[in-house]
Copies of this chain bind each other. A is one copy, B any other.
Amino acid sequence: MQPWHTPLTPLSFLARSADVFPDVTALVHGDRSWTYAQLHAAVEERARALRAAGVQPGDRVAYMMPNVPEMLIAQFAVPLIDAVLVSVNTRLAPEEVRYICDHSGSSVLVLDTVHWPEITQVAPELETVRTIILAEDDQHADQPLARANPAGTHVVDLETFLAGASADADELVWAVADENQMLSINYTSGTTGRPKGVMYSHRGAYLNALSEIVHSGFDHDSVYLWTLPMFHCSGWCTGWALVAAGGLQVCLREVRGPVMWDLIDRHGVTHLNGAPTVITTIMNAEEAHDLDQRITITTAAAPPSPTMLARMADRGFEIVHVYGLTETYGPYTVCEWQKPWAELDGPARAAKQARQGVGMLTADRARVIRTDTDADELIDVPADGATMGEVVMRGNNVMLGYYQDEEATAKAFAGGWFHSGDLGVMHPDGYIELRDRAKDVVVSGGENISTIEVEQAIAAHPDVVDVAVVGIPDDRWGERPKAFIVRKDGADLAEEELLEFLRDRLARYKTPRHYEFLDVLPKTSTGKIQKHTLRAQEWAGRTARIQG
């Protein structure tokens, strides 16, 4: 290694903060707290235990957890032994969790005890998982813990697992040999039926975290509330960013109004991230009141309305609007504030803030390209704020590719740029603004839902002949999926039966709440379903198609 080269890795952030701020509080959960020295020790303890359990460099370790300290600890412990963290969306159905564990080839699955009852049923089928670790945090001791032991899989509680490794005193190196090596895999629903594993590198996570320090304004005095799921895009790399800044992170199990306001007041929260639904929940809570401190909310997908922005400003909140995908480590663009906007009236200013903006400091410039050419041929649309095109991105803020899926990776990277599938315009000032989605994806509460996946689950019912799923507006979630169904002649299939049928096949948040039974679906002459027709009738009178 050259004396002038140190591979970039977010591990260095905790190594440094444990060194520089050992006695500063890094993490709070309920009545428990961890200093940076204690967080560092907890990470090393897990790393040693995982290594003692046979986890090798490059191995995948799956975690399925709410926003509890164990999940943040995992973001350092797994890469510390050069392994790869697979974060599992806690809202997935057991069958989906099984698919992700098997597809990633994870050898260990760490579960919060709340998820064990549902995962028990698929545990015997897991192909590569040898060890299941059940973690129960202090805040949840009242939860009943079932410990059925599925055939062939070792199930152990976290305390026992950690105790078994205490003899291993090998030195742990808080560095990596190659900054481009894989750090984590985050599964996302794309246009195909199965989730794809988005691979993050140490370098990408490091640089994304530095950008978030700059754009969200994290520093040593920051108190960050974990309203964004940690499993989502590695928590937008925010856990690493806060550790780099030497700030305080506040965990919580449930994103509910009373809980959030209690933590905001108790810890003097200064920052939080989340989809617009989080903002709505905070602002509409009974406990909502004016703030003593300022809170910066970094939000994605769509910014609040002018009315909501005004209400928030009155309370003491300010907004940083970002945009990105799982494939871009979370945020890629930021709607950089321009001083002259302060002189605009509310709606005009909100319209400026509603735009997705410009590449972050460590990201490349985003482009909007024509969609009427080959995917490999990247021709920018005019920057006129009117001509629609697809948003494409590249550089250090873009994933390494999809795990074990060269075909999907090649398609996503056609022409050397990542194709977001999002449609938008380029304004004359270089800000992008989304207008529609090219992909068959519904974004509900910040999570992608593949309409094709939902359609396949519904089509599996013997009475269904044809089905189309589109996103419809929802005041709370931004969008929700709605299913349009053609039944078999004479079948009297109803909504209730479908819901029952889908219960074990589809995560609850993906399952449509709205069904409409048609005689025939609108189709093109070549037989392709015209989803835009279905969408148009549902979105009539709404200005924004893209919402959280």
Contacts and interface: CB of A to CB of B under 8 A. Distances in A.
Interface of A: 1, 3-6, 8, 12-13, 15-16, 19-22, 24, 180, 201, 204, 210, 213-214, 217, 219-220, 244-246, 336-339, 358-359, 361-362, 364-365, 394-396, 398-401, 413, 416-418, 429-430
| Most chain B CB neighbours (cut-off 10 Å) among A12, A180, A217, A401 | A12
Contacts of A416: 1, 3
A3 B214 contact: no
B4 A336 contact: no
Contact of A4 (B12, B338, B396): B396
Contacts of A217: 219
27 contacts: A3-B413, A4-B201, A4-B394, A4-B395, A4-B398, A4-B400, A4-B401, A5-B180, A5-B395, A5-B396, A6-B364, A6-B395, A6-B396, A8-B396, A12-B364, A16-B359, A19-B358, A20-B358, A21-B338, A22-B429, A24-B339, A210-B361, A210-B362, A213-B214, A217-B219, A244-B361, A246-B336
A24 B429 CA distance: 13
Contacts of A361: 13, 16, 210, 244
A26 to B, nearest CB: 14
B3 A417 contact: yes
A418 B6 CA distance: 13
A418 to B, nearest CB: 6
Contacts of A210: 210, 214, 361-362
A399 to B, nearest CB: 6
Contacts of A362: 210
B214 A6 contact: no
Nearest to A338: B21
A304 to B, nearest CB: 22
A210 B19 CA distance: 20
Given A6-B364, A394-B4, A19 B430 contact: yes
B395 A20 contact: no
Contacts of A16: 358-359, 361, 365
A405 B59 CA distance: 44
Nearest to A210: B210
Nearest to A244: B361
Nearest to A395: B6
A353 to B, nearest CB: 15
Nearest to A207: B8
A16 B211 CA distance: 13
Nearest to A399: B4
A376 to B, nearest CB: 12
B245 A4 contact: no
A4 B217 CA distance: 25
Contacts of A418: 3
A217 B245 CA distance: 12
A268 B417 CA distance: 43
Contacts of A19: 358, 365, 430
A309 to B, nearest CB: 20
Nearest to A245: B214
A3 B358 contact: no
A247 to B, nearest CB: 12
Contacts of A400: 4
A392 to B, nearest CB: 9
A229 B16 CA distance: 30
A106 to B, nearest CB: 23
A361 to B, nearest CB: 6
4 closest Cβ pairs, A-B complex: A6-B395, A3-B413, A3-B394, A4-B398
Contacts of A417: 3
A20 B430 contact: yes
A8 B204 CA distance: 12
B364 A394 contact: no
A193 to B, nearest CB: 25
